[in-house]
Amino acid sequence: MNRRTFLAGTGSLLLADAPPAPSRIIDAHTHFYDPTRPQGVPWPGKSNAILYKPTLPERFGRLTAPLGVTGTMVIEASNWVEDNQWLLDLARDNPVIVGVTGNLDAGIPEFKERLERFAKNPLFRGIRSSSGKLSKSIGDAHFLSDMERLAGLDLELDIGGGPEMFPGLVRLNDRVPGLRIVINHLPFDPPRDEQAFRELGKRPAVYAKVSGVLRRKDGVVSTELSSYRAPLEELWEVFGPDRVIYGSNWPVSDMFAPYPDVLRVVAGFFAAKGQPAMEKYFWKNSLAAYKWIGRT
């Protein structure tokens, strides 16, 4: 993919001094699932007409390959244990999936066996958790032991929620400094603990996944970079060029705007930071955080 294809495909202006396209784009936050399975899915609900449809690699590839997206980290949304295996089986046959972040409940007796089972597959790159779980478990010895087990297997922790989790993440990093942590769906809306937010920016094992940029205001979603430049600049200032990661949150992103518009907003911002910054944002930083497997 050349510079013209990338910038034209994302709707960006073809500026004479614009950097070339990134050599690859890894979308570090997508969800794959199939509501037509006999057992169905625990998420999304049938009432959500946008999301409740088969969402699989073939559909993702048709949508994103023309935009230069070459692979994805898939984040397991289902809390059914065996859906981790379903996703790994899907990844086996679809090389666009460079890694899987599973969904396992840490701090319970079954966690160790389940983690060791799935970690035998090199495409299994970590687990996801939530701010609610972190708040309840940060002082629990079993939970912290499982976080150390995760780090010992060279796996990462994706964490979702809101800015209320920042102090807990500082504590977790203090207790388990070897655990790579990826904060999902930044930038968050205020209010927040500013001190904890900026402290996380100093922690080399903590990454900021820029997967929650677009907002609905007064019933309208702007797809103009100017609407989001300030929070993106703040993330850039706090986390720096080495720890910001591209993620779309597709297909949830479809509830705000089509995929090309979601990509275009961040592409415009990071293209202005120069070629090295684009390479880091679009794939090198996610490689450092997840240690995903290049398959194509």
Rounded Cα gap, residues 257 and 223, in angstroms? 8
Asked if residues 14 and 4 have their Cβ atoms less than 8 Å apart, the reply is: yes
Query: Where are the chain's structural domains?
Result: 23-290
Asked if residues 98 and 296 have their Cβ atoms less than 8 Å apart, the reply is: no
pTM (whole model) above 0.75: yes
Q: Is 94 exposed, middle or buried (0-12, 13-18, 19+ CB in 10 A)?
A: middle
In a structure prediction context, what are the per-residue pLDDT tens digits for the chain, which is 296 residues long?
Answer: 555 556 555 554 434 455 678 999 999 999 999 999 999 999 999 999 999 999 999 999 999 999 999 999 999 999 999 999 999 999 999 999 999 999 999 999 999 999 999 999 999 999 999 999 999 999 999 999 999 999 999 999 999 999 999 999 999 999 999 999 999 999 999 999 999 999 999 999 999 999 999 999 999 999 999 999 999 999 999 999 999 999 999 999 999 999 999 999 999 999 999 999 999 999 999 999 999 999 87
Looking at residue 18, what is its pLDDT?
58
Is omega for the bond preceding 42 within 30 degrees of 0, making it cis?
A: no
Rounded Cα gap, residues 6 and 271, in angstroms? 10
Looking at residue 6, what is its pLDDT?
61
CATH architecture of 23-290: Alpha-Beta Barrel (3.20)
